[in-house]
Amino acid sequence: MAEALAPPLPDDIDRLCDAVLTLACDNDVRLAAAESCTGGLLASLLTDIPGKSHAFERGFVTYTDEAKVELLGIPRDLIRHAGVVSEACARAMAEGALTHSHADMAVSITGFTEGAPGRPAGLVHFACARRGGDDTRHRVERFGDVGRADVRLNALRVALTLLRDGLERPARA
């Protein structure tokens, strides 16, 4: 059975999304998202606020290895050697989203919502890249075996926080 996000998203996530979109609109910054374990939830959230959703340029839902290669240009060797749930892949996803879009800033999310041998439940890597900006920032979280929905909600919080923090810093000239 599918696990829906019910009840509706927590208020803190709505507030954080609104803050990100306000900053993006105020600074004329277009956003992109490259998502794996969140399956497009971030893109959906960033397009759900009336009057501000135009700041979202596009989203990439790259759940499979092939999608990461085809849509974001991730080298197969990177996936083979580092794995799709890794710092290297998260960085490449954010940078690939910038390369394959007209966005000014991109965030990526890749992780395991459920555990399996060699795949710790709740391990999620994030990256945020800005066109012409500082180096791509990375963050890793270990949310634990809290369930698919909670990992995804926590991932939304972290990704939005990375975007907010990136938007609050001035871009390099």
Q: What is the pLDDT of residues 74-99, one digit of tens each?
A: 999 999 999 999 999 999 999 999 99
Tens of pLDDT, residues 91-124:
999 999 999 999 999 999 999 999 999 999 999 9
DSSP string, the chain: ------SPPPHHHHHHHHHHHHHHHHTT--EEEEESTTTTHHHHHHT-STTTGGGEEEEEE--SHHHHHHHH---HHHHHHH-SSSHHHHHHHHHHHHHTSS-SEEEEEEE-SS-BTTB-TTEEEEEEEETTSSSPEEEEEE--SS-HHHHHHHHHHHHHHHHHHHHHSPPP-
Going along the chain from its start, the domains and CATH numbers come out as 11-168 (3.90.950.20)
Tens of pLDDT, residues 1-49:
344 445 578 999 999 999 999 999 999 999 999 999 999 999 999 999 9
Global pTM reads 0.93
